Amino acid sequence: MAGFVRAKRGSDLLDDRARARLVGADVRRLSSDTSGSEHDGEDDSPCLSELVHGFLEVEADDDPAASRSPADCGSDSDGADSPAGWADAIEGVLEEALAGNADSYRSLLLRHVSRAIEVFACLWSNKPALRRNVMSYLREIGYNAAICKTKWDASGGLTAGNYEFIDVVRSEPSEGSSQLNRYFVDVDFDGHFAIARPAPEYTRLLQRVPRAFVGGIEDLKRVVKAMCDAARRSLKSRGLSLPPWRKNRYMQNKWLAPYRRTTNPSPAGAFAPGAAANSAGAAVKCRSVGFDQSMSGRLFVRTR
């Protein structure tokens, strides 16, 4: 009994907070100190769900321009908040980014891509096969074209994903050295921006987006950001939220995430054996209709 009394007197040397810890009154804070998290146990900090919700709503992209409003796209008036105002501002961005009048190489490449899509129109329902045949078409007429495969992991609210498109690399001489310019080619570009119950303003903007996109990285980024912004405003006007796979950060990753190039004319492992045979047969049929003829005459040009 005497020993018990001495132990109790020893605790009197501790302050109130220390004594409270001995009886477990501050267990939550102690456990947070060993959990490795800065936020657990801090009453004045927002909870994790609030942080995630805020991140998804604001969509704080790495690009500082991602947080700008449509008014930054071409209008600084208050009218940009109205449906007509933001739609007109975004339409101006699209017209400027898609014009490409000063780039003769891009204009020529766009004509050849359009021709290839026309030749292989029978493969429209099989996008992987269509992309491979368009890529092969471009290579046969002299372009340094390849299939690009992007892939990214889930992080910070971003869903993991992967995508395929075509790119064309052009080497240009520049002061004794060569400079590489990369052109992005997507044969089904407008399909990426389809949304549910689009507002009339959004439908008008979507009609401005070409079926096949051909352009450089800056034009691509501007078009994608503008259309994601338009999709968000359109869905908001209908009382809907922008889904994660239509957010700017996710969409940009389709073309700008880490990638690898391949010139393989057939997608490896993308189809079951029967489906692969069918797609190969369709490609041969498309070639017999117009591909061989398009390879002769003045269409065959060297681009490098």
**DSSP state letters, 30-84:** HHHHTTT-SSTT-TTSPPHHHHHHHHHHH---SSGGGG--GGGGT--SGGGGSHH
Q: What is the b/e burial string over 210-224, where b = at least 16 CB atoms within 10 angstroms of the residue's CB? A: bebbbbeeebbbbbb
Confidence of residue 269 (pLDDT cuts 50, 70, 90): very low
pLDDT digits (tens, 9 = 90+) for 48-104: 333 333 333 344 443 434 444 443 443 333 344 566 688 999 999 999 998 877 889
Contact criterion met (CB below 8 Å) for 90 and 226: yes
Look at residue 272 and give its three-state secondary structure: coil
At residue 229, does pLDDT exceed 80?
A: yes
At residue 276, does pLDDT exceed 60?
no
Asked whether the predicted pLDDT for residue 192 surpasses 80, the reply is: yes
Tokens of 183: 């052109």
Per residue in 41-50, pLDDT tens? 333 333 333 3
Instruction: Tell me the β-bridge partners of 173.
Output: 178
Which helix (H) or strand (E) segment holds residue 86: the answer is helix 83-99
Least confident of 82-86, 186-190, 245-249: 82-86
Better-predicted residue by pLDDT, 237 or 42 = 237
Predicted confidence (pLDDT) per residue in 116-145, tens digit: 999 999 999 999 999 999 999 999 999 999
**pLDDT (mean) for 36-40:** 35
257's enclosing H/E stretch is none
Q: Identify the pLDDT of residue 31.
A: 34
Give the CB-side neighbour count of residue 214, counting CA atoms within 13 A.
22
Q: Note if the pTM is more than 0.85.
A: no
